[in-house]
Structure 1
């Protein structure tokens, strides 16, 4: 096989290896989020474990492969070991959830070491495939830089496809378990191809005769490239914090950002690989690339403004005009903003590898040198992810952390320039760069958020892996506050939200068969849902679990939650909601679920059939599970799957409408018997009555008019759907939602609304009257959604003839 053909085949092999590596990494982040909880720690375990495995493999396998007389056979073995270990680990992460919880209960956070070690094992084997092919290819000194750039660039380019294909194709098509097994089969095919079609024993003998490998000693380049790894991964963490506020929390947005990151690395490798032979001063190039990468990141922040957002929207609209697809429009926006921040810095970062490899190796012992360089770089990255993610960012914030990284990069560049005695030449440029960047305000992003959203900042804190803000908006008697996480609005205390959150707790408590003694809310948010528990006198135990400590801190900034953060009558736990239920064995009379919207990344775990099974096991005999159902945040098909998951777990279920955009599904193991006398008694509790009056529920008829249907109607609604499961996370990979989704799903549910059986005829008439008013209000809202403000105004005006005292209706008064 000629050298050119070898290069082509090896480029393809490494391209496919890159695909499988990123599929596994993305898959394990998702799986570990279920096992130990969806938070920064699960992501950090995967990244640090993966990088540690890569670093150790690069270091030790680099030495081993350099001395091997048959690197192709080593490559085969590594691909097979990668396939077997990756498949086993994917299965273990999926099926040993409860086992891990039991282990963690015994040894605490030391249990984190178990998945960390498991993930490091296949990463160790993955790292050697690139080194084995480099050793076999054995480029000349003159072409070594070019070969390194091409092959490593191909591996990175494959990672781009892996990052994008996982959320768009692999998991939606194969499911989580199938994705792991399918990807492992690809690695087996790569190893099998080389074993059966490429291994040549005669070439092995020839190489044994002509190669006398000698180890290259220590080189300053190893340490410098370790610092590059620290800065590079630190930037990746900070980009994740920065960019999400200009995108959204869909998994596609994060995949796009990762793809652009890898694209820059690949382009840098390819371009530098092609032109490296023309560079006369490699140390100077190394120094300039190092400084340029972090400087360009800070420069993008310095010039960031509303103009950036306008171009982002315009780029997305252009793609919408071409493809007539909201998906294309949203992807265009994701691509634009990710490229704006990431593409140039990562291209410069990617160009460093061929340069430093050429500097350290001078074309000799490429496998060993490349392995050691990648090991130092990877271990630097592990330190960067830990120090930046858990110390620098929460302490200093984005801007000051980047400023420290700039100083570190300047130090690395100075060491590089010192090798060629040219530090004085570039010192003024570095000083000007520092002076320019020093004028970037630390409040740059919150100022931009306020410009975009308008309002006044009430609370702002950068925590471990997240940024939480509370912004006050509106004017006059319409002032309200919204909770922003990562720059994205999650919830607020605006009046419609106040209504549905109160009903989220009160409907199941008021209709409960028997006496509810204990209740748990999953998801704190504004605290309104959990705070409502304080006003129900029959409860003896109240608890709420929230993932982010900053959200707990911000809760006292919202109205309507009865200041639950200061109450001794409710326990607030900072934990992953699913993980908390897995760890404890106690039961509750009510578990009410109000996590983030279903399509947010990682949240599918709290809407799946598997999670509902867990909730069922934590309910008392008469217990209820109440699931918040936002009907406008996902497609109708995804909503059907959400409902189907509940119906496959609970034999009894019913649906209530809590607000025009929200529904409430209650699941139970016992039939729901509406005891009218008991309902009247509970509605008459002074605190309950006052709380409901404030949100437009003044009597039993208005309360019962929110009932929509029982299990039969829900069965009809979801009859063609597959349930949401951990293995098939339908919600997370749902399509793009059109604005018209409300006008598609709400009429369908309202038309199927059922009467409550066995009620007195006079009460039934009152309920019909209130239901008709509620329908007028909902159809007015839908008229507004389709641009018919005249119909909206007419229907509301008509409504006020029948009910002009209802606080809920009056909040929307067109006058």
Structure 2
């Protein structure tokens, strides 16, 4: 685990890099097992050989830091090969990893055949002894995996953990050597310790084709096992999350199954004869057990929620749920997989003199198959046919292997061979055709992160309905993650998920844009820019608004780049910009390898609780980024305040601030921070920002849309300089590559609401920016003060915004723009009457922005809104939006006849406005004019109205008209936008009930769902009574 982490810090966290490291590791195991298995049979002291192997592994572990440092140097020099030939680079990468770890992995691989040679002293006990050894070895790996993943790395660090492991290896070696010496002192050979002395060497029997078939079958079993492991892990991450603890749980569970399976075989069947058919039956059982996991996965998200609600949401209970679900999927197949090694070793071994050779050969064949499975599963099967069908394919492999093994066993009767073939055919067909495709909405529901969203829904049916309500526009099981793009039902709102977690959305637009705009505004002359993380592409769009010559976007998952095409309206069609170069790479690894310098580097990773993301928040990463900046360069880093303990947030702040010569902290809003690091002192001038924005209409419009009315308003985002940031961070720990504290502490706060706490703790340290040419204390016109008020509103800090707008009004009480902003802020605070009074002042004295006054008036309480809107209509009778808003307010206030009159007048001026027809339909519905209401609503639909409220109103009209089937369809569409709307669900149930007895079950289900959400709903109870059923 630790060596893999160290190597991925060099090679990157891409699937290609991880698979390469894993393959090199397993290749070393196979080589060691194969070679030393042959050597040990010729030796005389297998126990001493084992001690020396452990010593070799331990001593090598002490050399790891120096060797990996040399590896990093070699890698940076060889990276250029990727531009010449990716295949050549892949081979070189494998060889580089192999050279570094071949010695210890070969020694590790040798331990099993060597110990088998020592422990197996009776041929009849071979299956039991080898099973015991494999079980002890694997269960030891379980302990090591659990301790390393849950404790050692986070407390001792990577190198400390390596040193501990090396010490254990050396201690074992010393113990073995001392034991061997003591035995020789007593004239006892080590081989006699296990019981009888080993038999005299026998002539090695000739191998037959059946032996080759056996090894090939075991290799295919190893291939299938790695495909399972890869696919199960990918599917489980959609349910139990992507933290480092999640992966440790999954790996530990897998190993527990293997170890226990070997142990159970050794205890129950190890002393019995077993043939090729026995191994074949075992393969068929593996196929059958893995087959059952396919339909299970779609049920896991709902099971997770039940367990979370039942057991609680503490971190310990969360880990317990992860273990339970992982075991539910893996434990039975892995128990059977664990039994395969001692079974095959027992079949393949012919005599005691060849135990080491046989065990080594068997182990090597399985490991080579596992290497193939790792590559094929990660690079071919999952990206091409998907996770579900990758499992199905592995099931078919096990089934076919099982039948072939039964067929070649001469001791099996023909009838039983036919039975096995029939079983294989049934299992294979079931794997591909017996189950429906997993519901993608359920699988990408992100229950780990969004469990609180589902907590208010009392039944599994309602939770599933929530999960599947939105339109799925894009879905790809990519190389590293599952990427999906969704559109909210009844709206144009888009969001992108990575493994079920929303990583980009229309709602994140302020952050996605400002992460790009702010660093560029501080260095507007930048020519070469690197953005790490694609997301929706909006950050790249912000960078592209400036005259950069080359913009590189490094994204680890190619499917994210493709998915971002759905955000073309928001990202400015960044894919078509000739200056942009998309790079499929780990951003940190790319920065390390290319040795380029950039004017601006923007790091926009996902959340640090996700495994591997913590590498983009360490001191070494920031040092790498600083070294990659040109003179005057700027580095921008996004940081969250939600689901982050204050200690973790301050850890990031301190780690960042200690690296860059000058640093500042900015807030896009209360949830999203921006850290800015520069190689030179940061100089803040409003004139510089204005000049940077001059001639860039797209950037100016984006900033206005976000609420930043001019360059000065951007300074409202500023929180503090470097010195204050370090003071606030205090004695916080530093996040290091060697001790990745953040990656292990952040998952413990997943789901916790920490935004308010973190912002309150931050407020005491906020410092007003030292802007050379925009001092609000020397602002005779109040324009600087007002601009800051706008900026604070844009950052969602209404308290500061109100304070600054009132300062502006004290300086310039006749400033109607300030009064309008104050009215808007008061409305957002829920102070409707006070807002209305401000709006009336604006209406009386300021004509140019009455449209903005209408926008604010819409948000007021009904009476206040009508009062203001009538005044606006008097002042500007031709302002259509004021008339529309007045009609809406009248309808909201229950005066549907006046609302209808307003809508009909507006209709003459706006004959193609769907809002007018929708509003007219609602007013007619309120009056009971159902035929005319339906006609208006149908016209609104023709013009493009699709909202959930519209569908519900249409459903109600159709109910009154007795058109129940159409009403059912309308209410179903409505509920997609709001699953929790009780009245809509009740009306759906009533409409379904009217369709006849055949629909009774569904109607009853709807009424029971209403009562589950609203137990006091008498109408639902009465409807149930009509069916003669009890509550």
Q: Per the shorter chain, which TM-score range?
A: 0.7 to 0.9
The 1:440–1:523 alpha-carbon spacing in structure 2 relative to 1, beyond 3 Å, is farther
CA contact (8 A) 1:520 1:543 kept: yes
Q: 1:339 aligns with which of 327, 333, 355?
A: 327
Query: 1:170 aligned to 2:162?
Result: no
Compared CA separation, residues 806 and 681, structure 1 to 2 (3 A): farther
Question: What whole-Å deviation, never above 9, does each CA across 1:289-341 have from its counterpart, x for those lacking one?
Answer: 212213222212124434x3232233345544xxxx62112212311221122
CA offsets 1:180-212 (integer angstroms, 9 cap, x no match): 222111111110111113442233398688532
Counterpart in 2 of 1:549? Answer: 558
Q: In structure 2, do the counterparts of structure 1 residues 499 and 680 end up closer, same or farther at CA, with 3 Å as the change threshold? A: same
Aligned match of 1:10 = none
Shift of 1:448: 2.8
Distance 1:372 1:469, change over 3 A: same
**Which one of the candidate residues 366, 372, 379 is aligned to 1:377?**
366
Whole-Å Cα distance in 1 between the matches of residues 579 and 339 of structure 2? 59
Question: What is the CA deviation profile of residues 612-633 of structure 1, one whole-angstrom value per residue up to 9, with x for unaligned ones?
Answer: 1111122122111111111224
Alignment of 1:45-194 (within 5 A): 45-94=20-69, 96-105=71-80, 108-112=89-93, 113-194=95-176
Q: Is the 8 A contact 2:128 2:271 kept in 1?
A: no
Who is 2:488 aligned against? 473
Q: Where in structure 2 are the equivalents of 1:587-666 lying within 5 Å? A: 587-666=597-676
Aligned length: 768
Structure 1 residues 438 and 206, CA gap change in structure 2 (3 angstroms): closer
Q: Name the CA shift for 1:633/1:769 in 2 (closer, same or farther; >3 Å).
A: same
- The more displaced of 330-339 and 255-264 is 330-339
Spell out the pairing of 1:505-516 with structure 2 (5 A cutoff).
505-512=516-523, 515-516=525-526
Which residue of the partner structure matches residue 249 of structure 1?
242
Which secondary structure state, in structure 2, belongs to the residue aligned with residue 121 of structure 1?
helix
Match of 1:766 in 2: 786
In structure 1, what is the Cα distance between the partners aligned to 2:613 and 2:792?
35
Say whether 1:796 aligns with 2:823. no
Shift in CA distance, 209/124, structure 1 to aligned 2, threshold 3 Å: closer
Q: 1:415 to 1:176 in 2, by over 3 A?
A: same
In structure 2, the partner of 1:312 is: 304
Pick from 426, 434, 446: which aligns with 1:432?
A: 426
Q: Tell me, yes or no, if the aligned pair for 2:298 and 2:439 is still in contact at 8 Å.
A: no
- 2:283 counterpart (287, 290, 311): 290
Corresponding position of 2:349? 361
Structure 1 residues 100 and 280: CA distance shift in structure 2, 3 A = closer
Please state how far the C-alpha of 1:751 moved relative to its aligned partner: 3.3
> Which residue number in structure 2 is paired with residue 423 of structure 1?
417
The match for 1:11 is: none
1:719-734 pair list within 5 angstroms: 719-734=730-745
Larger radius of gyration: 2
Q: Secondary structure at the match of 1:245?
A: helix
Deviation at 1:400, TM superposition (A): 3.0
On the 8 A contact 1:652/1:671 being kept in 2, the answer is yes
Partner of 1:398: 387
Any idea what SS the aligned residue of 1:525 has? coil
Q: How does 1:24-63 map to 2 (within 5 A)?
A: 26-63=1-38
Cα distance change of structure 1 residues 206 and 332 upon mapping to structure 2, 3 Å threshold: closer
2:580 paired residue number? 570
Q: Structure 2: how far apart are the matches of 1:72 and 1:182? A: 23
* Cα distance in 1 between the residues matched to 2:9 and 2:730: 28
Matches of 1:212 and 1:585 in 2, distance apart?
A: 59
Judging changes above 3 Å, is the alpha-carbon distance between structure 1 residues 429 and 362 closer, same or farther for their aligned structure 2 residues?
Answer: same
Shift of 1:813: 10
Residue 967 of structure 2: aligned partner: none
Q: Which residue of 2 aligns with 1:492?
A: 504
Contact 1:69 1:204 in 2 (8 A): no
> Relative to structure 1, is the Cα distance of residues 54 and 442 closer, same or farther in structure 2, using a 3 angstrom cutoff?
farther
Question: Residue 104 of structure 1 contacts residue 111 of structure 1 at CA under 8 Å; is this kept in 2?
Answer: no
In the TM superposition, residue 93 of structure 1 has moved relative to its aligned partner by 2.0
Say which SS state the counterpart of residue 674 (structure 2) adopts: strand
User: Match of 1:38, SS?
Assistant: coil
Q: 3-state SS of the aligned residue for 1:599?
A: coil
Query: Does the 8 Å contact 1:634/1:731 carry over to 2?
Result: no
1:520 match: 530
Change (3 A) 1:542 1:359: closer
Deviations 1:724-758 (A, max 9, x none): 12112122111511523212211112332211235
TM-score (norm 2): 0.70
Shift of 1:78: 0.5
What is the alpha-carbon distance in structure 2 between the residues aligned to residue 93 and residue 83 of structure 1?
16
Residue range with higher mean Cα deviation, 721-730 or 433-442: 433-442
Change in Cα spacing, 1:52 to 1:772, as seen in structure 2 (3 Å) is closer
Distance 2:264 2:198 in 1: 35
Q: Is the 8 A contact 1:660 1:778 kept in 2?
A: no
Q: CA deviation at 1:270?
A: 0.9
Q: Distance in 1 between matches of 2:861 and 2:155?
A: 47
Q: Deviations over 1:362-417 (max 9, x none)?
A: 66343322211111111111122222322222222223333332332222212222
In the alignment, what sits opposite 1:204? 189
What's the secondary structure of 2:571's corresponding residue?
coil
Cα distance, 1:474–1:287 mapped onto 2, change above 3 Å: same
Structure with the larger RCO, 1 or 2 (CA within 8 Å, 6+ apart): 1
Match of 1:4 in 2: none
What residue is the counterpart of 1:459 in the other structure? 474
Distance in 2 between residues matched to 1:811 and 1:281, nearest whole Å = 80
CA offset digits 1:46-75 (Å, max 9, x no partner): 211111111111112112112221111101
**How many angstroms does 1:447 deviate by?**
4.9
Tell me the distance in 1 between the aligned counterparts of 2:297 and 2:589.
39
Q: Distance in 2 between matches of 1:193 and 1:542?
A: 59
Structure 1 equivalent of residue 545 of structure 2 = 535
Farther-moved stretch of structure 1 (661-670 vs 130-139) = 130-139
In 1, Cα distance between equivalents of 2:798 and 2:789: 14
Cα distance in 2, alignment partners of residues 677 and 652 from structure 1? 21
Cα RMSD after superposing both structures:
3.0
SS in 1 for 2:666: strand
Name structure 1 gaps, 5 residues minimum.
1-25, 781-791
- Check whether the contact 2:290–2:395 (CA below 8 A) recurs between aligned residues: no
Query: Which secondary structure does the structure 1 equivalent of 2:123 belong to?
Result: coil
* 1:757-778 Cα shifts (integer Å, max 9, x gaps): 3514235533664466468757
Distance (whole Å) between structure 2 residues aligned to residue 810 and residue 674 of structure 1: 37
**SS of 1:748's equivalent?**
helix
Moved more, 127-136 or 200-209: 200-209
Classify the secondary structure of the residue corresponding to 1:734. helix
Distance 1:182 1:287, change over 3 A: same
In 2, Cα distance between the equivalents of 1:269 and 1:724? 40
Alpha carbons 1:709, 1:753 under 8 Å: kept: yes
The CA deviation at 1:274 is 0.7
Corresponding residue number in structure 2 for 1:448 = 442
Residue number in structure 2 paired with 1:326: 314
**Aligned position for 1:8:** none
The equivalent residue for 2:680 is 670
After alignment, is 357-366 or 325-334 more displaced?
A: 357-366
